[in-house]
Structure 1
Amino acid sequence: MSVQSAAPAEPRGFSLVQYAVCLKGIVWREALRFLHQRERFVSALVRPLVWLFIFAAGFRSVLGVSIIPPYETYVLYDVYITPGLIAMIQLFNGMQSSLSMVYDREMGNMRTLLVSPLPRWYLLTSKLVAGASVSILQVYAFLLIAWFWEIEPPTLWGYLTILPALILSGLMFGALGMLLSSLIRQLENFAGVMNFVIFPMFFASSALYPLWRVREGSPWLAFVCEINPFTHAVELIRFAFWGQVNFTSLAVVAGCAALFLGAAIIAYDPSRGMLMRREG
């Protein structure tokens, strides 16, 4: 018997347990970072609460909301903007999570993650899942505070039916932030890019006002709002909070999440993406 035939065969691939251990480690690391950065949690809640308790209270009597799906009756303005504020929490968290990736890349921690023998797409997806999990915790903390101001779904099931929408929108915003982080070389440049992306997406959407009002004032701006992925994330959350499904928004959010994640995986490919540009 030859030496080659006597040698034990090397295992191919990885087991489900190994994939699960990797996912657990990345999620746990993100959770510990979130717990140690309490100001991140506070800032994530202060921003939407200011909009809810100050902006919405000031414009409640000025900006009336007519009966539009999924609402079956007139709703207060602060009730209307709540889904938009939820999406804003997830958008900011997606950008903050990507900011940590830029920091890890500069400090060298990202290289430790990317040289793992596990597939790179799985490592990036695990990082994305970890960031989305943190954003969901922030959203439910916001909903708990809003409940004391009588902002709640028509039934308690709304807190459960909104969960799939939060998962999908959190993955989309996290994938968008991950894609942006692959295009930025220095940590100082990320803040400007965040403002350039966050505020146009937020204001050119249905987060603060119905699209029919925008269409009355500016048809071209209404078109921009309709093709904005943030608009569809807001509507997906809005319908889910009321126990309904907006299938158009569901398709757009799912498609954008897959597109952004695929682009981010390609951008983090050392032969085609970030590493090649850095060496160049």
Structure 2
Amino acid sequence: MRPWVTAFAAIVAREALRFIHQRERFLAALVRPLVWLLVFAAGFRAALGLSIIPPYQTYITYETYIVPGLCGMILLFNGMQSSLSLVYDREMGSMRLLLTAPLPRWFLLVSKLFGATFISILQVYAFLAIAAAFGIDMAPGGYLAALPALLLAGLMLGALGLALSSFIKQLENFAGVMNFVIFPMFFLSSALYPLWKMAESSPLLRDICAVNPFTHAVELIRFALYLEWNLPALGWTALATLGFLALALRGYDPARGLIRRRR
């Protein structure tokens, strides 16, 4: 097991070093959710009244409601950002060196996925600390209980980005595809407004939001922050993670790539 552990630690350390050398990436990951929390929430507070819905036991402010969705935003953007680096590594040739290591390809890709997810979770907790400084805090044990939910949600969104990177061959095309994935997933979810509020304007949009994997990831985080488990959200998030990961492994299969070239 020593070569496996060494390879896993090396890949995670490489992701950490890349993150340390890109400090603007850390700031950008915090600026986006903080703008929503401190600026947009002030305007939406009066327009979007919130009823008492699980896991909340009383009426809450709009800022409190959107915190789990903004945690999901950080995971979503970082998952896509780490996948963008995969496309860059592939163009520069370093990705080829990684995948030729004498270890299973799935293990190398999953290790890279875990490394990116760990970085995303650190950024989420930094955001939660800033939110608490502004008076938006959760249950004391919720921060620890949210860790498994953040890990699973981060793996799901990272696996989605990994799958996209396996089928996109040029760096220029990946940025455009990210916009077609990130914004629909984020806005067609329960990150900014509850599903019952969406149903008032359009039942069809509500149904689309209900099948969005990002919605289930956000709800998983939301319930975990209040020391509760949303089993349907847990099941759908885990299922989406396995599906996206299987798609990514298929895309990075060299035999299938050879078949495409022959055709």
Alignment partner of 2:208 out of 212, 224, 231? 224
Worse overlay, 59-68 or 221-230: 59-68
How big is the shift at 1:149?
1.0
TM-score by length of 2: 0.98
Alignment partner of 1:213 out of 192, 197, 208? 197
How big is the shift at 1:254?
0.4
Count of residue pairs brought into register by the alignment: 263
Q: Does residue 34 of the first structure (1) align with residue 19 of the second (2)? A: yes
User: Deviating runs (4+, > 2 A) in structure 1?
Assistant: 275-280
C-alpha separation in 2, matches of 1:62 and 1:119: 52
Q: Given residue 248 of structure 1, which amino acid in structure 2 is its aligned partner?
A: P
Q: Deviations over 1:100-130 (max 9, x none)?
A: 0000000000000010110000000000000
Alignment partner of 2:179 out of 195, 199, 203? 195
Q: Does residue 161 of the first structure (1) align with residue 128 of the second (2)? A: no
TM-score by length of 1: 0.92
Identity %: 63
Aligned residue number for residue 98 of structure 1? 83
Q: Secondary structure at the match of 2:47?
A: coil
Higher gyration radius (CA): 1
| Aligned residue runs from structure 1 range 131-150, under 5 A | 131-150=116-135
Alignment partner of 1:51 out of 9, 25, 36? 36
Q: Deviations over 1:161-200 (max 9, x none)?
A: 0000000000000000000000101000111101000000
How big is the shift at 1:62?
2.1
- Greater helix proportion: 2
RMSD over aligned CA atoms reads 1.1
C-alpha separation in 2, matches of 1:67 and 1:107: 52
Q: Does residue 108 of the first structure (1) align with residue 100 of the second (2)? A: no
Q: Which runs of 5+ in 2 are unaligned?
A: none
Aligned residue number for residue 229 of structure 2? 245
Aligned residue number for residue 77 of structure 1? 62
Q: Which runs of 5+ in 1 are unaligned?
A: 1-15
